[in-house]
Chain A
Amino acid sequence: MLGNDSNGISKNTNNRITASFVLFSDLHFGFHLQHAEHALYKLPKLHIKFAPARILAKRLIQRYFEKRCIPHDFDVITALPAFLRHVQNKCGINDFDLYLLLGDLATWPYQRSYSLLCNYLTKADVADSYGGYVTSCKGLFIPPSKLIAIPGNHDKMLLSTLNFYNQSFCRPLGLPDMPQSSTWFMHKKIAGIDFLFILVDANSYSSCGDMAVDLSFRRHLACGRVSTPLIDELKRKFAELRQGNSVDGVKLVNFDQCVRIMLTHFAPSVSEVVGLRERLLEFVLPHKCYGVKSLLKNLAGEIDLLIHGHLHRPKVYAFDGTQVLSATTTSQIEGYNGFYLLKFHEREIVAESYKWMGNDFSLEEDHQGVFPFYRLSPSPLPPPTQVNPPPTEGPGKLSM
């Protein structure tokens, strides 16, 4: 049972919260905290490889990339730490149990962007300077042990491997390297509940060399791919865990009773989340993820909740019998900014959506959701419900 206080923050009135996770996606960190000269990205010169572009559209392509790689909104990241503290107070907890990052952490894979982000995530204060002017803001001060992150398409933009992401983001924070085009299992025990996180890297990678663009760009810039070997790998890992074996350092005593959450950057269904305009843009630059349907079919009943980012829109929906939560961008300039707070009760997850309103966050009734745990319940429950479904879906905004 949810109730809202006068400030828009929901208060749980009946169920005790057993665990709480914060969901950030598409942070899109730029390479300076805040300076007018760096409000938009100026990218290194790209290698345009296909002949027509070399002659006709070289500059347009460069500009296109710069225009689409919009960095973080400084107002949002300034206000976020204070608002999270406020939510904690309202919920009566000292800290959230986990922070999930759903990819597109940097808007372009630059070392400087990741350094800033690492500082912002883990330090109490962040500072940056340019031209003698120092900018500072509060950081989120999250212990790295509470972070779970996956890479998005911007984290490997025009790169052929995931090495840069692992080296610049995972290792400085002490997080395990994310295997490329593969999966990684993580286990967290919170309040006696076993949570199994299935991290999936469904990125498609460039095959024409780093920082190069050729005619294959539609296949790797913004769309993902779940390959058959990846599905087989997942099935094998599930089987191993069920038999009590160790997978990626995870060993579960009671595999059937753990809560299984799959994290992937790409959405199983673009049309479920975004509006018509964005669906038309799909013809130019696809944002879909090939092979997801097959993945979910093969893992039917095994996943309690699939969470994704990428489309910059919050949404609660079901896809092929799987409960899905789409997280919006958290901090991109001019984006539909916000974050989810996941509250775990005995047999369900309540997802609260908080939307950036220009000068602070506010609870967004339209995109709240309740996800019952089908497997853990004694009897099947109805599909996931959006607490207050919006009357009409406004147009979404696609990231690259």
Chain B
Amino acid sequence: MASPASFQGIVVWLGEATIPVDSTGRAILPKRLPQYAAQTLAEAKRLLESHGIRFIFIRERVWEDKLEQIIKNVKELSSGIRLVVLWSTPQGHRLSVSLNVHAVEDDPFQLLRFVRQGLELRYSAMSVDKARLIERLAYRTAARLEQLICDNDRTARRMILNQLQGIFSMYGVDDEAAEKDFRLLRTELGPMIPKILKNPRVASRFIAQLVLDVQNSYWVEIKSRLIDNKKCDYGSWGTFFVGSSRTGLVVTLSHATAMLEFNSAAGEIHAEPSFAEVLMWLSDNLESPLEDAGNQFDSSTSLNDVAFRFAKVNLPSAIKYAEMLSSLRNSPSIGDSEITGLGSWKSFGLQARAISYLGCLAFVYSLSRRLTTTDTVEFPPNGQFVRESGTVVFKPSQFFIDLLAANIPKTATATGRQ
């Protein structure tokens, strides 16, 4: 039986009639991880299909001698979920280890530690340069979102309402009411974004801009990092190195596994926790849309077109989840007391980051698709990606090389990898 009113299930307690509680009566896992209870495997399967489930917890003391069978059954449900056995006896622990599933002692503190460690491990796996790219893009995306809100009819209607309230204030109603309403409007800017983007025309224009922004920020960040560090590490999206040869600078690309075969961008998240949670959810939940979207696209279509359609398919779920997270978490405190109104912008920033991450995924995904049918994808004036004997090679333009050469001291490239 599924617990009602939850937005997204990410934990399922298999075999529990209710959400398990500890001795004080509180839910064993923190409330911000929505939890479900499923009596049967069929219920668990249904939940799995309709929600973004990430963990299934099985308690040894519930299943006892059926533990081995139920573990095997759950494993067959999906390879993407994390199965966790809460063992009560040494025998349950041994069994879990032998079946290669996570084993955690059935104790609230151990459980909490497990969840926290799981999250932290994933945050720290994301490369700094990738996080920088997403932050860079989020800055621009946030500006676009705000413009979108300013230009939106719905916002305009709200503004008119505010004005009407202002008129009432003329007849003796305290103006504070109108002020309060205006503050409310700002608080609602975050939640308004998904509503605004429901308009297909608005969404299309926004996503088209996003796709171009990703490409631009991608190259700005690469050049900036190569100049600073001689290396730009985008993780599975590729790592660029600057080295030197007798003829001058050499820029090489390695680890571009996502470009060769896009499997999803799981396991690479690092930033402030609220942001990381969004990214984690995105990476976990975009796997099947990725496959579905991939089947829809004609591989001969252009890079931008593929990226555009990918982003369009996934944008609603991304911003919806970012919105939910923003209501669960507090944003970082605002230090600039002289700036008004920023305190209520938590969901706004979060959504900008989630959309930016999605944009980056779309870009790498479309690049990957393009390289399956075309040998060369060009990005003037920076260079081109070329598929050569099972790998992707980056061939920088002369401008790209000249720009780096002008900014990197000659001695600094000696340690650069080639």
Q: Which residue in A8, A42, A88, A138 is a CB contact (below 8 Å) of B399? A: A8
Contact status A131-B143, CB under 8 Å: no
Bitwise interface map of A from 84 to 127 toward B, beta carbon under 8 Å scored 1, else 0: 01101110000000000000000000101000000000000000
Report the bound CA distance from A135 to B271 in whole Å. 12
CB distance from B249 to the nearest CB of A (A): 13
Q: Which residue in A44, A73, A79, A138 is a CB contact (below 8 Å) of B338? A: A44
Contact status B402-A7, CB under 8 Å: yes
Bitwise interface map of B from 213 to 229 toward A, beta carbon under 8 Å scored 1, else 0: 00111111101100110
Q: Which residue in B215, B340, B345 is a CB contact (below 8 Å) of A44? A: B340
Residues in chain B near residue A133, CB distance under 8 A = 135, 271-272
**What interface size band does chain A fall in?**
35 or more
Residues in chain A near residue B338, CB distance under 8 A = 44, 110
Q: Which residue in A37, A59, A60 is a CB contact (below 8 Å) of B348? A: A37
Report the bound CA distance from A42 to B339 in whole Å. 6
Contact status A70-B407, CB under 8 Å: no
- The closest CB in chain B to the CB of A87 belongs to B406
Please provide the chain A residues from 5 to 35 with a CB less than 8 Å away from any CB of chain B in the complex: 6-8, 31, 34-35
B141 CB–A CB distance under 8 Å: yes
Q: Which residue in A31, A55, A75, A334 is a CB contact (below 8 Å) of B167? A: A55
B139 CB–A CB distance under 8 Å: yes
Q: Which residue in A45, A73, A82 is a CB contact (below 8 Å) of B227? A: A82
B162 CB–A CB distance under 8 Å: yes
Report the bound CA distance from A336 to B379 in whole Å. 21
- Judged by DSSP, the binding face of B is helix
Q: Which residue in B340, B341, B382, B398 is a CB contact (below 8 Å) of A359? A: B382
Contact status B381-A112, CB under 8 Å: no
Contact status B340-A360, CB under 8 Å: no
Known A8-B399, A138-B228, A359-B215; judge A131-B140 contact (CB<8 A).
no
Please provide the chain B residues from 147 to 163 with a CB less than 8 Å away from any CB of chain A in the complex: 147, 150, 159, 162-163
Known A7-B398, A358-B216; judge A36-B141 contact (CB<8 A).
yes
Report the bound CA distance from A34 to B356 in whole Å. 14
Residues in chain A near residue B272, CB distance under 8 A = 131-133
B331 CB–A CB distance under 8 Å: yes
Report the bound CA distance from A251 to B194 in whole Å. 64
Q: By CB atoms of chain B within 10 A, which of A86, A334, A359, A362 has the most?
A: A359
What's the count of A-B pairs with C-beta under 8 Å? 150
A319 CB–B CB distance under 8 Å: no
A347 CB–B CB distance under 8 Å: no
Residues in chain B near residue A1, CB distance under 8 A = none
Report the bound CA distance from A128 to B260 in whole Å. 36
Bitwise interface map of B from 197 to 232 toward A, beta carbon under 8 Å scored 1, else 0: 000000000000000100111111101100110000
Residues in chain A near residue B336, CB distance under 8 A = 31, 112
Please provide the chain A residues from 50 to 92 with a CB less than 8 Å away from any CB of chain B in the complex: 55-60, 63, 67, 70, 73-75, 78-79, 81-83, 85-86, 88-90
Contact status B182-A135, CB under 8 Å: no
B172 CB–A CB distance under 8 Å: no
B243 CB–A CB distance under 8 Å: no
Report the bound CA distance from A89 to B401 in whole Å. 13
Q: Which residue in A36, A57, A112, A131 is a CB contact (below 8 Å) of B352? A: A36
Report the bound CA distance from A36 to B137 in whole Å. 9
Known A36-B349, A39-B352; judge A74-B143 contact (CB<8 A).
no
Q: Which residue in B271, B345, B382, B402 is a CB contact (below 8 Å) of A37? A: B345
Contact status A59-B340, CB under 8 Å: no
Residues in chain B near residue A171, CB distance under 8 A = none
Known A8-B381, A132-B332, A133-B272; judge A39-B216 contact (CB<8 A).
no
Contact status B216-A42, CB under 8 Å: no
Contact status A135-B146, CB under 8 Å: no
Q: Which residue in A6, A43, A79, A131 is a CB contact (below 8 Å) of B398? A: A6
Contact status A88-B402, CB under 8 Å: no
- The closest CB in chain A to the CB of B342 belongs to A42
B136 CB–A CB distance under 8 Å: yes
Residues in chain A near residue B342, CB distance under 8 A = 37-38, 42
B302 CB–A CB distance under 8 Å: no
Please provide the chain B residues from 223 to 256 with a CB less than 8 Å away from any CB of chain A in the complex: 223-224, 227-228
Residues in chain A near residue B224, CB distance under 8 A = 78-79, 82, 137-138
Contact status B406-A88, CB under 8 Å: yes
Known A55-B169, A131-B272; judge A40-B146 contact (CB<8 A).
yes
Report the bound CA distance from A340 to B217 in whole Å. 23
CB distance from B346 to the nearest CB of A (A): 8
Residues in chain B near residue A70, CB distance under 8 A = 143
Known A36-B349, A334-B143, A359-B220; judge A75-B403 contact (CB<8 A).
no
Contact status B162-A59, CB under 8 Å: yes
Residues in chain B near residue A130, CB distance under 8 A = 332, 335
Contact status B227-A138, CB under 8 Å: yes
Chain A residues near B (Cβ < 8 Å): 6-8, 31, 34-40, 42-45, 55-60, 63, 67, 70, 73-75, 78-79, 81-83, 85-86, 88-90, 110, 112, 130-133, 135, 137-138, 333-334, 357-360, 362
Chain B residues near A (Cβ < 8 Å): 135-136, 138-143, 146-147, 150, 159, 162-163, 166-167, 169-170, 178, 182, 212, 215-221, 223-224, 227-228, 271-272, 331-336, 338-342, 345, 348-349, 352-353, 381-382, 397-399, 402-403, 405-407
9 pairs from A and B in contact (CB 8 Å cutoff)? A7-B381, A36-B141, A36-B349, A40-B147, A74-B139, A75-B140, A79-B220, A131-B333, A333-B140
